[in-house]
Every structure is written in C-alpha cells, then in structure tokens.
A = this chain, B = another copy of it.
Amino acid sequence: MSARPEILVVGSVALDSVRTPYGEAVEALGGSASYFSLSASQFAPVSMVAVVGEDFPVEHRALFESRGVDLSGLETAPGRTFRWRGEYGPELAHAHTLETQLNVFSTFHPRLQDEHRACPYVFLANIDPELQLEVLQQMRGPQLTLSDTMNYWIARKPDLVLEVLRRVDVALLNEEEARALAGESLLVRAADRLLEQGAKSVIIKKGEHGALFRTADERFITPAFPVDDIRDPTGAGDSFAGGFLGWVARCGRTGGGMVQQALACGTTMASLAIEDFSPRRLAETGSDEIARRVALLHRMVHFDLEPLF
C-alpha cells in the first residue's frame, strides 16, 4: 500500500507491559495510534502522527511498514518512548494502571505536514483535548472526523472534551466515559444528553455487549464479535475505531447501511486485538478472516421483518 494516505491518526505509540489472568507481555508495542493504524490499514492507507523516543525498537517500525502505514509523521524525540504498565483482574473489565512514564510523550505537540492536513478521514485518539483541537484546526476540510477520549480528560478538562465532541462528526466513548461525561447512569439517556450537549453523533462502546451509534434521528447497534479466549483487552477501543473509520474510508460513504457495516468492522477488529497481547494479530490476520467475522455479525442480527398482526 503506497497509495496516498486516506486516514490520519494522531495518538500515542507506547511500550506496554501488561499482565492479565491469561499471560503477560513486557515492553510490547502499544499505544492508541499503534492499535488504530494496524487495524485501519487493513481497509485503507493510514498516516500516523505520533512521537517515540530514541529507544523505539526497529522491529515495531517494521511492523507498521509491513502494513503500509506512513510513518513520515512519526517523530523521534530525544529521550525514552512512552511506557505504560498495567494489569487486569479476572473480569477483564478495567485496566489497573501500575505505572505511566510519559517520557517523550509529555511534550508532544502534533505538527501536521501538508499531506496530513489533506487527509479526508481523521482519528483523534485519546490524547489531551487541547491537542485534539489543535489537530482539527490544522485540517483542511476532512470528510469525517472521529474522536476518542478517556476518563482522565473527562475528570480534568470536561469543557474541552465537550468542545471536541461538538467539533467532530463522530465521538467515540466507552460506557463509563459516556455515563461520566453525560452525568446519566442509563445509557439511553447518556446518549440523549451528549446529543443535547452538541454532539452530531456518538458511538458508545460496550465491550462484550457491542456498540451503539446514535444521532438525533438514527440508532444502530452491533453485537460484539463473540470471542471465547480473550487474552488482553488492551487496545480494543482503538482497534474498533480503526475498523470503523477504515471501512468508512474504504467505501467512501456513510449512507445506505455503511455505518452499520462500519460498526461491524470495528467490533471485528476489536475481537482480533483482544485475542492476543500487543496489536500483532491486527497486522497478521488476513482479509478472509476479517470478512468471515463481519459476515457472522451480519447473520447474528439479520432477519426479514414479517408483518406482526
């Protein structure tokens, strides 16, 4: 894939040390931009804007390049790469952070090259909402912008998180984040409230319960692709974002059921990410397996509506 980049991701590249009840990984490739780009690049060409330190392993760079990810925006700064250490309990629901070393990431300010500014599709990963707004200001009329966030920013900069939510086309949140940002415990109401606060559309990720998409007029849902053997849930959300935006970029439109299929692509890519540590499975899985999983999701929900009465 040496085609003109279609999708821009601005986020983190990290070295993750993760322990789950099913194993552990030490200084494995991690970070939102890593999971996203390896997921989205299954569907369309991706450019990454991020920062690593001088110690960033060459084999991780090679993994991105093997998927055609454009690394011209991956800055190498003096110092060490962002590191995260965490663990999950038996429910695999929440990561417990043991250590965060921001390192070179602490002074990261995304500077977009001309080619990046022209990308039609943008994913703003869960970085500081101030940086997300900086990126949006640099873009030249993108077709679709997708943002993520995290509880850390919702607690510290709720107004800026809401400002980003109003400026993007689709705001991606997990259940907890949606409840916290909206101040509503029922998800249906939380989604209503986020739309009232100015979001054009929201996707709420619900883990094993799938994801829902809401605008003022539309509601779509996808079940989660059923995975029996979850090894590490890290990166599921960014992999979801990659499948979602990847398919939107690939088919070039959001009408006529394409949002629903994008949701199915999102949960499919998330299912691959969580079957192993690090995002390697996202890169290594063939298109046949991805298509098989999306078709299974379609079969899980499809029926021809018969008149009831």
Contacts and interface: CB of A to CB of B under 8 A. Distances in A.
B260 A302 contact: yes
| Central interface residue in A210, A227, A308, by most chain B CB within 10 Å | A308
Nearest to A220: B300
Interface string A266-291: 00000000000000000000010011
A185 to B, nearest CB: 5
A258 B303 CA distance: 8
Interface stretch (A7-15, A66-74, A97-105, A186-194): A186-194
Contacts of A291: 307-309
A261 interface: yes
B227 A188 contact: yes
Given A303-B261, A306-B261, A187 B208 contact: yes
Interface string A239-268: 000000001001100001110110001000
A229 to B, nearest CB: 9
Q: Which 5 A-B residue pairings sit nearest by Cβ, starting from the closest?
A: A257-B303, A260-B303, A301-B301, A209-B209, A221-B223
A174 B170 CA distance: 32
Contacts of A287: 308-309
A91 interface: yes
A265 B185 CA distance: 26
A295 interface: yes
B219 A212 contact: no
A208 B221 contact: no
Contacts of A187: 208
A83 B43 CA distance: 59
Nearest to A308: B291
A90 to B, nearest CB: 6
Interface of A: 43, 90-92, 185-189, 192, 206, 208-210, 212, 219-223, 226-228, 230, 247, 250-251, 256-258, 260-261, 265, 287, 290-291, 294-296, 298-309
Nearest to A263: B303
A230 B185 CA distance: 12
A243 to B, nearest CB: 10
Contacts of A189: 228
B306 A251 contact: yes
A208 to B, nearest CB: 6
Contacts of A230: 186
Contacts of A290: 308-309
Contact of A294 (B186, B228, B298, B305): B305
B302 A302 contact: yes
Contacts of A306: 251, 257-258, 261
A199 B300 CA distance: 20
Contact of A247 (B186, B299, B308): B308
A163 to B, nearest CB: 26
Contacts of A43: 308
| Central interface residue in A208, A222, A226, by most chain B CB within 10 Å | A226
